[in-house]
Structure 1
Amino acid sequence: MKRVIVDYKKLNKNILNLLVEKFPDGYNDDDIISFRNQHNEAIEAVEVKTNDTIYLVKISKRLADSMQSFDGPGVDIPSAVNDEQVGELDIE
Structure 2
Amino acid sequence: MQLTNSIVIFFQNNSWLALVVLSLPFFYFAYFLTRKSIRNMKTKISDYYPFNVILPKSTTWSSLFLLAIVSILALVLYLVSQKGFVLSPA
**TM-score range for the pair, normalised by the shorter chain length:** under 0.3
Greater helix share, structure number: 2
Question: Which has the greater radius of gyration?
Answer: 2
TM-score for the superposition, normalised by structure 1: 0.22
TM-score for the superposition, normalised by structure 2: 0.22
